[in-house]
């Protein structure tokens, strides 16, 4: 039987007694901790409630089942390449102590909401992921970020790619106040600017 560890961030809602467990000649009643995922809490210190209309912007999970540490049981080969990129980056952030969420943005009544790729609250950072590191993909990511950030209070922005783009594509992202993040062959993550070091992401050499 395999044991998998579930990584997430919760709020403690209540503590109560459990069913009795036999210990030696007697019984013990170990406590049961009732937890709630942070995105179900209306107001979490430092998060969006203070600066955004919570009727428009709300939290949702990055697919938590895919953040299990035992990756052999996930069947990640069945995921779309963009999903794999997002989940691998979220695992890195979770290991570094940063929670990862997504945002649901209800922009127009009677229309389907928009869903962002990654929200990192500890850095007030919105990330849009694209697999191809080409100009068209980055242009699309930048336009999506521009649309999402209309509903937020000046968040930081970044585009997550599967490989390093050309210098001119990086310059395009910088002209729109967005960083670029990509993985290295050694399994680390680097970015086009230095301030992302707080997330365990080093700045790529020129």
Which CATH number do you get for residue 58? 3.40.1350
Q: Is residue 143 part of a domain?
A: yes
What's the pLDDT band for 80 if we cut at 50, 70, 90?
A: confident
pLDDT of residue 109: 77
Domain span holding position 147: 43-203
Per mean pLDDT, which range of 52-61, 136-145, 150-159 is the poorest?
A: 52-61
∠ CA 1-15-43 to the nearest 5 degrees?
A: 100
Percent of the chain whose pLDDT exceeds 70 = 68
Q: Is residue 16 part of a domain?
A: no
What's the pLDDT band for 14 if we cut at 50, 70, 90?
A: low
| Residues 144, 175 contacting (CB under 8 angstroms) | no
Percent of the chain whose pLDDT exceeds 90 = 34
Q: Is residue 31 part of a domain?
A: no
Q: Is residue 139 part of a domain?
A: yes
Q: Is the pLDDT of residue 117 over 80?
A: yes
What's the pLDDT band for 70 if we cut at 50, 70, 90?
A: very low
Q: Is residue 37 part of a domain?
A: no
Query: Rounded CA gap, 125 and 15, in Å?
Result: 33
Q: Is residue 47 part of a domain?
A: yes
User: Structurally, how many domains does the chain consist of?
Assistant: 1
- Average confidence score pLDDT of the chain: 78
pTM: 0.69
| Residues 43, 58 contacting (CB under 8 angstroms) | no
Selection from 61-65, 75-79, 184-188 with the highest mean pLDDT: 184-188
Q: Is residue 38 part of a domain?
A: no
- In this prediction, residues 124-152 reach a mean pLDDT of 94
Strands (E), the chain: 10-17, 21-23, 26-28, 31-37, 57-61, 101-105, 114-115, 118-120, 125-129, 156-160, 178-183, 189-191, 202-203
Q: Is residue 114 part of a domain?
A: yes
- In this prediction, residues 19-48 reach a mean pLDDT of 62
Per mean pLDDT, which range of 16-30, 97-111, 154-168, 171-185 is the poorest?
A: 16-30
- In this prediction, residues 50-69 reach a mean pLDDT of 56
């Amino acid at each position: 039987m395999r044991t998998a560890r579930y990584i997430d961030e919760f709020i403690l809602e209540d503590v109560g007694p459990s069913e009795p467990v036999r210990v030696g000649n007697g019984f013990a009643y170990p406590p049961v901790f009732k937890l709630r995922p942070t995105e179900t809490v209306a107001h979490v210190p430092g998060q969006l409630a203070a600066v955004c209309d919570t009727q428009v912007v709300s939290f949702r999970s990055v697919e938590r089942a895919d953040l299990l540490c035992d990756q052999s049981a996930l069947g990640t080969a069945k995921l779309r390449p963009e999903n794999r990129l997002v989940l691998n980056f979220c695992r890195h952030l979770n290991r570094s102590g940063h929670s990862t969420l997504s945002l649901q943005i209800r922009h127009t009544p009677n229309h389907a909401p928009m869903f962002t790729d990654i929200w990192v609250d500890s850095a007030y950072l919105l990330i849009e992921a694209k697999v191809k590191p080409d100009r068209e993909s980055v242009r699309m990511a930048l336009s999506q970020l521009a649309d999402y950030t209309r509903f937020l209070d000046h968040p930081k922005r970044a585009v997550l790619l599967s490989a390093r783009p050309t210098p001119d594509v990086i310059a395009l992202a910088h002209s729109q106040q967005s960083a670029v993040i990509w993985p290295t062959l050694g399994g680390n993550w680097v970015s086009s600017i230095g301030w992302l070091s707080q997330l365990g992401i080093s700045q790529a050499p020129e």
